[in-house]
Structure 1
Amino acid sequence: MWLMQAFTLILFFQGSEARKNVLFIVADDLRPEIAAMHDNEAYRQMHDKMYTPHLDAFTERSAVFKKAYVQQAICGPSRASFMTGRRPDTTKVYNLDDYFRNVSGDFTTIPQYFKQQGYRTLGMGKIFHPGSSGGGNNDRPSWSDDEQYYNSPSQRNYWYPRHNEKSWRAINESLEQEHPLGDQELTDHAKATLRRLAPKAISGEENFFMAVGFRLPHLPFIFPERYLQYYPQSDIKQPSNPYVPQNMPGYAWHYNGEIRNQYADIIDLGLSGRPNTTWPSELVLDLRRAYYASVSYVDTLFGQIMEEVDGLGLRNNTIVMFGSDHGWQLYEHTAWCKHTNFELATRTPLMFRVPGLTDQGLMSSHLVEYTDIYSTLVELAELPAVPLCPQSGPTPQACTEGTSLVSLMSNPNIPGKTRVFMQYPRNRRDVGPLMGYSMRTDRYRYTEWVTFNTTTSTPDWDLMFANELYDHSIDPDENVNRAEDEDYDTDVDLLSAQLQAGWRAALPNY
């Protein structure tokens, strides 16, 4: 089988004289809650009746990486990371305010690199985090001109009038027609833009890199009411683990501030952000249901864009990537949102539809990282390769700290990365700035909470305040921290050494 796939790769590159366009689509806060990715054994917290027909169809002709991990589970830092191909300690973006070009370097982003290679680059919706972390202008250097970035009117007002009244809202049809939802406006603009770009793209006169960023399923969950029909209340279940992990260090917790402090319906309840705080059962079920409905709404909008691509004749010369900035927690461990190093916060879908290469579809269980996207898209588009960023000395403006996934697409039997890395900062009054460095292997998630120098963006591994070890072979929901279990002493020693050695020591041979 792998020989056939390798032959397909050769034909892909030999038979692709014309450049391919790139359609780069990201959702916000999307865990792998897609029907085609559901696995009763491996992902027990996933809803087993998701309605995502368009994304499911997309997987049939795509390379789907089921174990894809972001480098920090919060919007701004994650997007700064994968858009530059560099990790948070290089971008120095750990919050929603800092702009990588100001705090670290004038790095070349993915669309900026394509622009330098002669592509027309266009952005719309949420690609970089809005506001100061995107330079106040959605990272102007990434796009071909000032007219090439679009935010819908509803998106500029952050979804809906008086959005902070409620954490979720199902909009009836008449209200939807009166006030179109932001992601539908975004989709309509994306379709109109594709129609405008198609003639030159098909003729080869001008190729495009077009980035589309949905805001859903980010809070508040505002979606058309009709999507609730796919999720009868009787089908919605509580998570199996509404309690924090046994032996969890306090540094791993994040107090659920994003949902507790912004929406009146939650604020009025006066819920504590402490671990193991019990939330009203009806509210938990309503929020989970609203999240699922929001995912299905994004699926429909994604399907509209794919239908436009195919109808315009762009299918055979356009690479389509779909992903998100991180996952999301739906009351598992009594946690909401992201802001942790847990599995559900750091893992998210990653798919590539590549004409001539992924036509038969591929479900990969390789461990991959979002820093891999940059070099993958560059190789798929047959542009000059972007080098690995050097460990010391002068750093090119265009380099990555990830590796291309094209080899895994052509030969899924080759070994990939044995471990991938992510991190999350904390600041505690008693100890000051900390960084939780986390590493995922096929079997384990291992994390160390260490003192962090915010000036140099470096850890002091000798000042470790806590560590975590979750054994996914017997505990896929990460319910028991086994770092202090003497039966795992040898594993902890090895994993600690691998974590501290960092991502460079884990680079694969492909």
Structure 2
Amino acid sequence: MRFIAIMYSFLMLNFSGCGQEKKENTSHPNILFIAVDDLRPDLGCYGNTIVQSPHIDKLASEGVTFTNHFVQVPTCGASRYNLLTGMRPKTKAQLSNEVIYNEISNQPERANPESFIHHLKRNGYHTVGIGKISHSADGLLSDYNEKPSDKRELPYSWSELLFDSGKWGTGWNAFFGYANGENRQSLHNKVKPYEAGKVDDLGYPDGLTTQLAISKLKELKNQNKPFFLGVGFFKPHLPFNSPEKYWDLYQNDAISISPYPEIPQNSNRESLHDSNEFNQYTRTDEIPNRENRVSDAYAKKLRHAYYASVSYIDHQIGMILSELKALDLEENTIVVVWGDHGWHLGDQKVWGKHTLFENALKSALIIKVPGTRIKNKKSSTIVETVDIYPTLMELCNVNMPHKTDGKSFVPLLHGDPMPLTESVAYSYFNDGMSLRTEKYRLTTYFRADKTQEYELYDHTSDAPETQNIANDHPEIVQKLVPLLNKGDTGLFNK
């Protein structure tokens, strides 16, 4: 009898422990965070009837699609710095692609975490990075033409940092890679800005990233700690390369050009640029700039290439989400798909990012939170990239003793309204600062001749950024300037 009593106590103790572990994992859900480079909200779930993105659309049907998500800075490195730190730029140096390297990479570990991933790691999460989450293509410090480094761009954030550079050899070579194993650097920019490769999904780096992610999910399934898995895809960043089968999804004639292909009326041409990043690909068929836009035929070809890249990544995301479900992990895993900024596809005569217009600042953001009653919801509430940090911490029940510039939008993920505050977004680049409200975009530029000027665009219009109405409606500008000034971080005083 004594033996039976001891065994009963032992079994009850173990069952109790299992229950506690399950409860702990539920209160600290896993996170699958998918960062997609240069992903503007051109997806089926955002209303684009041409783009084929069934897997992302399915995710959207199970969660919340944010139709007014705006980044702080329309360039890769700086936008990811805002994501990782939850902070707006405070100096002009923080508008640079090198900001993570300059302000995080070579610093000692401090009381405040270097990133929200670091904070999760400090709070018991196993953190894994695959691909481009920070600015570096593989998470390691090296320039485009340098040999691979063993130094991490985020020194303290990752429990594991993984990447398969395949036939390209290094992260940056893979980032600008072509199907034959060459890259933009090795070919000295004498390349086209697009390619339909006669290869399967593994013929480009993002397919290798998917393989790694699926393999790692199988390992993470068997550990007791909650995990953060960051997966960073390269496409649809230039060059617009993808396997030929994704090009074959589209008919060129069915693709339309931008509805806003001209520089907005009454705007300053200095507010835009000559598509310099795009024109680095010197074997481009045509060279766009502020004087000349490309032909309609070439504009369709480039959009075709961009859409094919999006469909390629959509399929990779679908395979990862399928594996998440097969492993019975989706019921306790938050899934985020985030575009690091938008992209002008010939809009306002620009091919690229790097402007303070809507096309460069609005990006995709889709979040699925397990266990919520909200499905297939589109939220038009304005949210910002800096808001993602505090939102994830609240969802994961992780305390934040430090402050960020962002605010949690968890109520929106549960179908509740946000507290009654002004819903706005602030963005910054070069010599300008922009405010987005529900109705308007007001941007101020500090020009080289020391003058300050405003551009105002009406987003209640069917053609919202085709005409600067600041001179016609000074009363609206005057009303919005105090709100714009609330976003002034002192950036232009330093």
TM-score range, shorter chain: 0.7 to 0.9
Match of 1:258 in 2: 277
Shift of 1:88: 1.7
Question: Does structure 2 retain, via aligned residues, the 8 Å contact 1:472–1:478?
Answer: yes
Aligned-residue Cα RMSD (Å) equals 2.6
Match of 1:101 in 2: 104
Residue 180 to residue 218, structure 1, CA distance change in 2 (3 Å): same
Matches within 5 A, 1:398-413: 398-413=402-417
C-alpha separation between the residues in 2 aligned to 1:140 and 1:349?
A: 24
Structure 2, gaps ≥5 residues long = 1-22, 143-150, 185-190, 490-494
Residue 162 (structure 1) aligned with residue 175 (structure 2): no
- Give CA deviations for 1:212-256 in whole Å, capped at 9, x if unaligned: 000000000111111123211110112122210011113311211
Residue 193 (structure 1) aligned with residue 197 (structure 2): no
Residue 217 (structure 1) aligned with residue 243 (structure 2): no
C-alpha separation between the residues in 2 aligned to 1:92 and 1:113?
A: 24
Match of 1:23 in 2: 32
Match of 1:483 in 2: 470
Question: Does structure 1 retain, via aligned residues, the 8 Å contact 2:138–2:162?
Answer: no
Match of 2:389 in 1: 374
C-alpha separation between the residues in 2 aligned to 1:232 and 1:116?
A: 50
Match of 1:69 in 2: 70
Residue 81 to residue 358, structure 1, CA distance change in 2 (3 Å): farther
C-alpha separation between the residues in 2 aligned to 1:249 and 1:374?
A: 35
Match of 1:152 in 2: 165
Residue 32 (structure 1) aligned with residue 41 (structure 2): yes
Residue 417 to residue 88, structure 1, CA distance change in 2 (3 Å): same
Letter in 1 for 2:351: W
Shift of 1:272: 5.8
Helix, strand or coil at the partner of 1:277: coil
Helix, strand or coil at the partner of 1:238: coil
Shift of 1:68: 0.2
Question: Does structure 1 retain, via aligned residues, the 8 Å contact 2:63–2:375?
Answer: yes
Letter in 1 for 2:216: T
Question: Does structure 1 retain, via aligned residues, the 8 Å contact 2:114–2:154?
Answer: no
Residue 481 to residue 320, structure 1, CA distance change in 2 (3 Å): same
Shift of 1:50: 1.5
C-alpha separation between the residues in 2 aligned to 1:104 and 1:446?
A: 37
C-alpha separation between the residues in 1 aligned to 2:137 and 2:24?
A: 43
Letter in 1 for 2:154: R
Quick one: which of 448, 459, 483 aligns to 1:472?
459
C-alpha separation between the residues in 2 aligned to 1:341 and 1:236?
A: 26
Match of 2:436 in 1: 440
C-alpha separation between the residues in 2 aligned to 1:482 and 1:333?
A: 16
Residue 52 to residue 312, structure 1, CA distance change in 2 (3 Å): same
Shift of 1:421: 0.4
TM-score w.r.t. length of structure 2: 0.83
Match of 1:492 in 2: 477
- Give CA deviations for 1:469-495 in whole Å, capped at 9, x if unaligned: 00111254400001111xx11110011
Shift of 1:334: 0.9
Question: Does structure 1 retain, via aligned residues, the 8 Å contact 2:29–2:226?
Answer: yes
C-alpha separation between the residues in 2 aligned to 1:493 and 1:24?
A: 40
Shift of 1:163: 3.5
Aligned residues: 440
Structure 1, gaps ≥5 residues long = 1-13, 39-46, 388-397, 426-434, 453-461, 505-510
Residue 216 to residue 142, structure 1, CA distance change in 2 (3 Å): farther
Residue 61 to residue 358, structure 1, CA distance change in 2 (3 Å): farther
Match of 2:59 in 1: 58
Shift of 1:139: 2.5
Match of 2:446 in 1: 450
C-alpha separation between the residues in 1 aligned to 2:140 and 2:131?
A: 12
C-alpha separation between the residues in 2 aligned to 1:22 and 1:91?
A: 32
Match of 2:268 in 1: 249
C-alpha separation between the residues in 2 aligned to 1:324 and 1:408?
A: 19
Question: Does structure 2 retain, via aligned residues, the 8 Å contact 1:92–1:103?
Answer: no
Matches within 5 A, 1:349-360: 349-357=364-372, 359-360=374-375
Letter in 2 for 1:210: L
Question: Does structure 1 retain, via aligned residues, the 8 Å contact 2:139–2:161?
Answer: no
Larger Rg: 2
Question: Does structure 2 retain, via aligned residues, the 8 Å contact 1:194–1:309?
Answer: yes
- Give CA deviations for 1:443-477 in whole Å, capped at 9, x if unaligned: 1000001269xxxxxxxxx9543210001112544
Residue 240 (structure 1) aligned with residue 259 (structure 2): yes
Question: Does structure 2 retain, via aligned residues, the 8 Å contact 1:339–1:345?
Answer: yes
Question: Does structure 2 retain, via aligned residues, the 8 Å contact 1:247–1:480?
Answer: yes
Match of 1:393 in 2: none
Helix, strand or coil at the partner of 1:264: coil
Residue 125 (structure 1) aligned with residue 157 (structure 2): no
Shift of 1:134: 6.9
Helix, strand or coil at the partner of 1:279: coil
C-alpha separation between the residues in 2 aligned to 1:448 and 1:217?
A: 30
Quick one: which of 134, 140, 160 aligns to 2:154?
140
Shift of 1:110: 1.2
Identical positions, percent: 33
Shift of 1:101: 2.2
TM-score w.r.t. length of structure 1: 0.81
Letter in 2 for 1:117: N
